[in-house]
């Protein structure tokens, strides 16, 4: 790992931007219909439970990343294989995030630009930041979280001033009962994006005040969860349920409806810039987690030598992960949840924690004897 340290505010900024990611602009939680906001809040609660598992493991091994302590827990060979699975998972999600980014720009602002060109430019920027190291990424997050807050405040103010909000679109509560809400909560809103915080197990050792990891993580998950829930309800109040269900990027449509005195119109750029910021950090953190994992597993002295090869892998994986955007969304919402997210975000971390606590229990008994 790098010999670097990041501050509490910097870790919060990275986690906050990461959690918002794609979910800020897509029709997140819409499987619960009008109760999407409730499904997101319940998913956030599930994400907090998962975070406590990740935090408990970090407390046992505060100086090691996930790929380091998985070998301590499961042994040199099995742990190495599981660590490699996590690296592949980080690379896969980086590629998926890059595809999300490219497709939104194609749909919103640059329809005639080749997807490869858009994704290649993003990968070059990511490789440059990762090459410079975690401290540069952390300082960049500090700056961009302020810009994001300003964009969010401005966009919301304009939506309210436009008079497009109809709170009746959210009624009645639980119109179809609890079933659509609960089936949306698990696995979708629990794992995406809250369970994805597992990638920060690769970054927690960099925090200069390790005792504050719990407070930082919980505050980032809570704040991002509340914002995602609010955004889902805002989209429904402005567009109505039917239009949100049909829309690929409902936030883009919500802000696009702003029309104040026939002067302030076509403010889609606010959403595109917001998405560019959140997705840059989301992809970069997945990317960085994979790079550090590879360096740790293969005992490389310097992570910089593999940044460009990993970037090329992520770039071409983003082009081949799905044949079109609808297939890409279908894969993310339905196919990967149980075979990939459930074991890697929940089952394996929980199993690791059980093994560690059991082992520590036997050690204490041995000392007492």
The whole-chain average pLDDT of the chain stands at: 90
What pLDDT is attached to residue 367? 65
Q: What is the pLDDT of residue 284?
A: 96
So what's the pLDDT on residue 271?
86
Q: In this prediction, what percent of the chain has a pLDDT beyond 90?
A: 62
pLDDT in tens, 91-143: 999 999 999 899 888 877 788 889 999 999 999 999 999 999 999 999 999 99
Whole-number pLDDT of residue 136 = 95
Contact present, 227 and 86 (Cβ < 8 Å)? no
As a whole number, mean pLDDT of residues 26-55 equals 93
SS3 content of the chain, % helix, strand, coil (to 5): 80, 0, 20
What mean pLDDT comes out for the span 221-232? 95
Fold of the CATH domain 8-349: Amino acid/polyamine transporter I (1.20.1740)
Count the Cβ atoms, other than its own, within 10 Å of residue 248: 16
- The phi, psi pair for 262, rounded to 5°, reads 55, 25
Q: In the predicted model, what is the mean pLDDT of residues 19-33?
A: 87
Q: What's residue 97's pLDDT?
A: 92
Which is more confidently placed, 347 or 264? 347
Q: How far apart are CA 82 and CA 240, in angstroms?
A: 44
**DSSP state, residue 118:** H
pLDDT value at position 18?
96
How many residues would you count in the chain? 369
pLDDT classification of 338: cutoffs 50, 70, 90: confident
* Beta-carbon count within 10 A of 222 CB: 15
Name the β-bridge partners of 6: 207
Q: What confidence category does residue 188 fall into, taking pLDDT thresholds of 50, 70 and 90?
A: confident
Residue 327 or 197, more confident: 197
Q: Would you place residue 1 in the very low, low, confident or very high pLDDT band (cuts 50, 70, 90)?
A: low
Instruction: Tell whether the model's pLDDT for residue 366 goes beyond 80.
Output: no
Euclidean distance between CA atoms 83 and 68, whole angstroms: 8
Sequence spans of domains, the chain: 8-349
Decide which of 322 and 290 is more confident: 290
Residue 369 has pLDDT above 90, yes or no: no
Q: Which of 35-39, 118-122, 180-184, 258-262 has the lowest mean pLDDT?
A: 258-262
């Amino acid at each position: 790992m790098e010999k670097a340290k990041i501050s509490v505010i910097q870790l919060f900024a990275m986690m906050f931007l990461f959690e918002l990611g794609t979910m800020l602009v897509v029709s997140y939680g819409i499987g619960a219909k009008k109760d999407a906001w409730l499904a997101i809040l319940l998913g956030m609660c599930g994400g907090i439970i998962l975070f406590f598992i990740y935090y408990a493991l970090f407390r046992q091994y505060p100086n090691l990343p996930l790929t380091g302590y998985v070998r301590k827990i499961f042994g040199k060979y099995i742990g190495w294989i599981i660590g490699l699975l996590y690296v592949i998972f980080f690379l896969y999600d980086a590629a998926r995030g890059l595809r999300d980014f490219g497709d939104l720009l194609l749909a919103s602002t640059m329809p005639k630009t080749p997807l490869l060109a858009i994704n290649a430019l993003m990968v070059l920027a990511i490789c440059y930041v990762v090459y410079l190291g975690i401290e540069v990424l952390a300082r960049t997050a500090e700056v961009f979280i302020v810009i994001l807050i300003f964009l969010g405040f401005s966009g919301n103010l304009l939506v309210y001033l436009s008079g497009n909000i109809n709170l009746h679109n959210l009624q009645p509560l639980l119109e179809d009962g609890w079933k659509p809400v609960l089936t949306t909560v698990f696995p979708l809103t629990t794992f995406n994006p809250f369970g994805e915080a597992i990638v920060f197990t690769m970054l927690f050792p960099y925090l200069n005040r390790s005792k504050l990891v719990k407070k930082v993580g919980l505050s980032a998950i809570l704040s991002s969860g509340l914002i995602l829930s609010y955004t889902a309800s805002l989209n429904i109040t402005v567009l109505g349920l039917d239009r949100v269900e049909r829309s690929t990027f409902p936030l883009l449509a919500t802000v696009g409806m702003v029309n104040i005195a026939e002067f302030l119109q076509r403010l889609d750029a606010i959403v595109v810039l917001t998405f560019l910021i959140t997705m840059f950090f989301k992809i970069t953190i997945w990317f960085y987690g994979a790079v550090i994992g590879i360096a740790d597993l293969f005992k490389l002295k310097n992570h910089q030598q593999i940044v460009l090869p990993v970037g090329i892998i992520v770039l071409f994986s983003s082009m081949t992960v799905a044949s079109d955007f609808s297939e890409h969304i279908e894969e993310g919402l339905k196919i990967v949840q149980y075979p990939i997210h459930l074991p890697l975000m929940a089952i394996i971390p929980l199993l690791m924690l059980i093994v560690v606590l059991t082992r520590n229990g036997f050690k204490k008994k041995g000392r007492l004897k």
